[in-house]
């Protein structure tokens, strides 16, 4: 109904599915995007992104994945909230995402994946593993990821890993120096009032084609007031309730 009232072509705000089309590159988002582009182009490291609920992590991640998919040499595997109990389950999920054959034994599956990475390198292809809600990864899963990060040639990485999650992801990686030493950190914070205003203007422009935002004077203030309300009611950045399926992983 409000699309017709405001003369909009599409909804500028949705909380169920983050839409990269409406993503506004605030300075902190642009910084992470440029860092990711550089690491991928140089094949020089891995990245973890962390921040509070509602700071735009998932939309940023989907935007990064969309951009990377336009590179014909990149092979993108996007995993969401892998709340898996064992390293074997995580590695199998990773292999399935890259369409690598899994075996009954953990060692045989890893061997298949290693061989696949070597073949992709020979073809000048670059696999990129992106994991959202990575704070859910258990300790053994982080160990498996560290092992995968050691797949390198004298000149290049064979695969890049991007982890994204809530602030506890950073504290968990901080307690795991082996994986921390191989990853570049990027912290996100809540947007300032001015950045929220620019975001609202940008989304309204995309949704309307060019029309002015009729609520431009108090829209940003309302957006900032609603964000903490959504958190208190237990809703995440994507509008889904935080609860049983977002269980905290075992602490390191």
pLDDT at residue 251 in the model = 36
- Name the pairing type of β-strands 126-132 and 46-50: unpaired
Single pTM value for the model: 0.76
- Can you give the residue ranges of every domain in the chain? 2-17+193-246, 22-187
Angle, CA 53 vertex, CA 93 and CA 198 arms, to 5°: 115
Q: Round to whole Å and give the CA distance between 169 and 175.
A: 10
Residue 76 pairs in a beta bridge with 128
Q: Round to whole Å and give the CA distance between 115 and 112.
A: 5
Angle, CA 233 vertex, CA 227 and CA 235 arms, to 5°: 70
Q: Which of 113, 67, 60, 74 is nearest to 90 (CA)?
A: 113
Task: Specify the DSSP class assigned to residue 244.
Answer: G
Does residue 176 carry a pLDDT above 80?
yes
**Of 23-32, 117-126, 187-196, 210-219, minimum mean pLDDT range:** 210-219
Does residue 183 carry a pLDDT above 90?
yes
pLDDT at residue 144 in the model = 93
51-78 pLDDT, tens digit each: 998 788 888 888 888 888 888 899 999 9
φ/ψ of 47, rounded to 5, equals -140, 140
Band (pLDDT 50/70/90 cuts) for residue 207 is confident
* Mean of per-residue pLDDT scores for the chain: 80
pLDDT at residue 90 in the model = 94
pLDDT at residue 17 in the model = 63
CATH class of the structural domain 22-187: alpha beta
């Amino acid at each position: 109904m409000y699309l017709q009232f405001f003369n909009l072509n599409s909804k500028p705000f949705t909380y169920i599915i983050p839409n990269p089309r409406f993503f506004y590159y605030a300075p902190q988002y642009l910084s992470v995007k440029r860092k990711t582009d550089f690491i991928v182009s140089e094949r020089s490291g891995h990245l973890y992104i962390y921040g509070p609920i509602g700071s735009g992590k998932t939309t940023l991640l989907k935007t990064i994945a969309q951009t990377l998919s336009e590179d014909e040499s990149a092979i993108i595997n996007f995993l969401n909230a892998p709340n898996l109990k064992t390293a074997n389950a995580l590695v199998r999920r990773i292999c399935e995402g890259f369409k690598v054959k899994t075996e009954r034994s953990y060692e045989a599956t890893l061997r298949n994946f290693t061989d696949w990475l070597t073949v992709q390198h020979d073809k000048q292809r670059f696999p990129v593993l992106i994991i959202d809600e990575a704070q859910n990864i258990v300790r053994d899963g982080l160990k498996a990821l560290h092992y995968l990060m050691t797949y390198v040639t004298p000149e290049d990485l064979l695969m890049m890993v991007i982890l994204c999650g809530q602030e506890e992801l950073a504290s968990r990686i901080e307690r795991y120096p082996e994986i921390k030493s191989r990853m570049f950190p990027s912290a996100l914070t809540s947007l300032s009032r001015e950045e929220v205003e620019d975001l609202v203007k940008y989304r309204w422009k995309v949704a309307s084609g060019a029309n002015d935002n009729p609520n431009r004077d108090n829209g940003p203030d309302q957006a900032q007031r609603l964000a903490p309300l959504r958190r208190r009611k237990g809703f995440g950045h994507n509008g889904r309730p935080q609860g049983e399926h977002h269980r905290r992983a075992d602490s390191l």
